[in-house]
Every structure is written in C-alpha cells, then in structure tokens.
Amino acid sequence: MASKKIQDQSKAKDQDRILQNKKASQRQGIAQKAIDEAIPTLEKAQTEKYIVGDNNSFIILGRDRPGNLFSGYGGKGATQAGRIDLIAGIGSSYRHSDGTYGPPNSDTMINPNFGMDAARVYISQKADIDRYMGLAEVPNQAPPGRSTIGLKADTIRIHSREDIKIVTGRARFQGLGKDGERLSTGGENEVVGTISLIAGNYTEDEKKISLGIMNPLKKLNRVIKKLQPIPKGDNLVECLEEMIVAIQQLSALVGDNTSMIQKMDLAISSHTHAVAPLPVPPFIPVALSPSSYTPITSFIQTKTTSSITSRQLFNKGLESLKINYLNENFGSIYINSKHVFTT
C-alpha cells in the first residue's frame, strides 16, 4: 500500500501563495516552522471551550458529543455528561467531490466524526461508546450511558517496560462499604464485566466445512461462533493430562480383551473329544463329561465380568471429566474463561 505524501497542500486555500512560498522555501514546516495546509472549520457548541493548535489539533471541553450538535447525551440535554475530547486531524479522511480524501480547508465546516478523524481520545462522563465508534457487540457488554474513555487511530500502541494489567470489575479499595466501588452513576457494580479481543470488528457466527472424525471423506457443514472464550491454560493442561490417562486405561482394557481372546482361541484349538464307538443296540444315550470345557467357561465368565465392570468405571470417569472441564454451568475447573473472549 502506498504511503501518504509527507506534504499535501493541494486542498489548502490560496494555491498561488502556496506555490510562491514553495519557490522561496518558505512555510514548508521544516524544523517545526509554520506550514500551509488544509484545516477545516469545526462547528462549535455554545457551551464548549477550546484549545486549538495551528495544525488541525483540538482539545474540547464540553458535554457528550461524538458528532454534530444534536448527537450524544449532550445533544439530548442530559446533565452529568461532561466530555474532554482530544482530536488530531479532524476530517482527515473527508471525501471531496473529486473523489480524493483528505481534510477540507476552512471554507468547509464539519463536526467531529469517529469515522473520519485521524486520531481521537474521547473521555465522557456518560456515553454509548460502542455505538459511537461502530464496534461489534459482545456478550455481557456494558449498557448504554456509562462513563467511558475511547481511543481511535490508525494504530494504537500500549508499551510497558514491566507488566500490563487489563482489569474489569470493582477495584479493591477499603472503606467503601459492603458493596465496594460503585459505578460512576452511583449504582452498584454487580457484574465482573468482559474483556473482548476482536480482530476485524465482527463477531457474527461463521459457516465452516470440516471433515468427519469417524469418516474423513464426509464433509460436515457447521456454524461456528466467531467470538469464543479463551481457554485457561492450567485447566486445559490438567484436562488433557486426564484424557491421556483415560486413553491409557482404555488401551489396557483393549489389551486385556485381546489377551482373553487369545486364551480362548488357544483353549478351543487344543480341545479334543474322544471318538465315540459305533452305537450297538440297544441304543443308550451317553452324556459327555463337561470337565474338558469347564475351565475355559469359567475363565470367560470371570474376564467378562471384570471387563464389564472396568468399562462401566471407565465411562463414569469420562463423564466426570466432561463435567469438570467441559461443562460451563457445573464444571468446577471449566477450561474456558467466562470473562475473556477473542476472535
């Protein structure tokens, strides 16, 4: 992708003067000196106060206002909706009539806009920040009208030389009563809240095609959740270790079964019957002695009973593993986080 020109003075006013300044090497901004560039006119509210820089940068003190004068809680006439708005490059991706993009000059009046401003730090006492910034919805996200800090730019970096904490829920302060730290509105802070790491800004379920486990030639059409909880590493390791032990136990049961079949085969192949003499009248039925097959029958019954018991215990163990690690509602060591999600 081609980078933006270091200098773009094409939309600034008085192009003849700009051309003359270029020839005289004046007002080109080198060494932080003055430069001619396009800077739009910001529509100002009566109650707002401004610190305005010379290069399309603003600090605005007022009431909640993500866009025009009627937007946000300030536009509705709400109280307790104070705002501090830091904007660098207002209208940076404004679309001109000729199809080009860039800030217009002072002849054009515009409003703040999260979609067009280059970089913005939005601090508000009362806001619907996800809607203002056009963010995808997530489970258990904060309701509207909460205090907020919104950061928006092409890139954002958070760099700590030691550690970074991203924390939701009440702070651990002393002396705030049994309910602890409250919300900015004074309401009880009863939920832990969620942390969502979203790449691409969409969380809608996706259709996927996968191969069957028992039949790899069979394709399965599935709907997969895009936003999923992040596994807890220690619980996942413990779960996998128990699954390995369970597979080893199953292997032992299969080995016992194979051994039993081998012994049965040996006993049957070595079993013989004496040749009975031809019957002579009068015909008298003679019962064969069961002594020759009693041992193998006893062995089969014993091993079968043991195998059934072992299989029942094995199946119960698998059910316990599912409940402990894979059941969101009842698992004491559920492998997924209930509060941290990612795409």
Q: What is the pTM of this model?
A: 0.74
Buried b (16+ CB within 10 A) or exposed e, 9-34: bebbeeeeebeebeeeeebbeeeeee
pLDDT over 70 (residue 272):
no
For the chain, what percent of residues have pLDDT higher than 70?
83
Average pLDDT, the chain: 82
Query: Which DSSP symbol is given to 48?
Result: -
pLDDT tens, residue by residue, 88-104: 999 999 999 899 898 99
Cβ atoms of residues 17 and 28 within 8 Å:
no
Dihedral sign, CA of 243, 247, 248, 250? positive
- Greatest mean pLDDT among 21-30, 119-128, 227-236, 330-339 lies in 119-128
pLDDT at 286: 52
Lowest mean pLDDT among 23-32, 90-99, 229-238, 279-288: 279-288
